[in-house]
Amino acid sequence: MEINDPFLPFPALATPRLLLRALRADDLDDLHAYSSDPEIDRFTPWEHSRSLGASRADLEGYLATYARGEMGVWGIKERESGRLIGICNFTYWHRNNRRAEIGYTVARRCWGRGYATEAAAALVEFGVEQMGLARVEAVCLPENIASMRVLEKIGMHYEGLLRNYQVWRGVPRDLAMYACTAEAARSGSAV
């Protein structure tokens, strides 16, 4: 299956309560406000920005990715407040095998409101319909119960524990693997 590059130009995705879009220079304050909260680092393989300068550097990196026409991150904008509340992306895209892995982080003030579920569902739909994926994957720490619930709500299925699958902050970690197929996503049993 031959497809055009779905990231040229970088697409915006709309959901009932969110707008997923390319980050902009004026997102710096909101990006820093959520990413400087150490609580969101508990379940991520990297440390988020602790200083405004680090957030600025992260944002400049994201903007450069768009300028190069590469797959980048979506800013998650809450429609009601108009504020950036997180980011989501495809962390890996294996074009030849038609599979990709999704990831997301959301501001702590928005936890438990279904925003991660809404954003992740939009990524699965985009991956299947625009990227031509046959399979969409996600991994999380086994103790990250909230993320497991998000993945289950969007129809992903637990496939097993991957031993020492990724190195997170210098330590090999076991990760829970979740996935859905394009067929399941299209039939509604996965999203």
Is 8 within a domain? no
Residue 121, domain member (yes or no): yes
What's the whole-number mean pLDDT along residues 22-28? 97
The tokens for 104 are 């997301």
Range of the domain at 19: 13-187
Q: Span 17-41, mean pLDDT?
A: 93
- State the pTM of this model: 0.92
Binned at pLDDT 50, 70 and 90, residue 43 comes out as confident
Predicted confidence at residue 157, as pLDDT, reads 97
Q: How far apart are CA 98 and CA 111, in angstroms?
A: 31
Amino acid at 164: N
The confidence score (pLDDT) of residue 30 equals: 96
Tally of structural domains, the chain: 1
Residue 7 lies in a domain: no
Instruction: Decide if 3 is inside a domain.
Output: no
Question: What is the predicted pLDDT for the residue at 191?
Answer: 54
Task: State pLDDT tens for residues 72-131.
Answer: 999 999 999 999 999 999 999 999 999 999 999 999 999 999 999 999 999 999 999 999
**pLDDT score for 40:** 85
Report how far residue 151's alpha carbon sits from residue 121's, in angstroms, rounded to the nearest whole number: 9
SS3 percent helix, strand, coil of the chain, rounded to 5, is: 35, 30, 35
Tell me whether residue 178 is in a domain. yes
Q: Confirm if 95 and 133 have CB atoms less than 8 A apart.
A: no
Cα atoms in the Cβ-side hemisphere of radius 13 Å centred on 36: 13
Cβ distance 172 to 142 under 8 Å?
Answer: no
How far the first Cα of the chain sits from its last, in Å, is: 23
Residue 6 lies in a domain: no
Position with higher pLDDT, 126 vs 5: 126
Residue 113 belongs to a domain: yes
What's the CATH number where 174 sits?
Answer: 3.40.630.30
Residue 1 has a pLDDT of 43
Q: What is the mean pLDDT of the chain?
A: 93
Closest CA to 21 of 76, 63, 59: 76
Report pLDDT for 38.
Answer: 86
The residue-averaged pLDDT of 46-63 equals 88
Residue 4 domain-assigned (yes or no): no
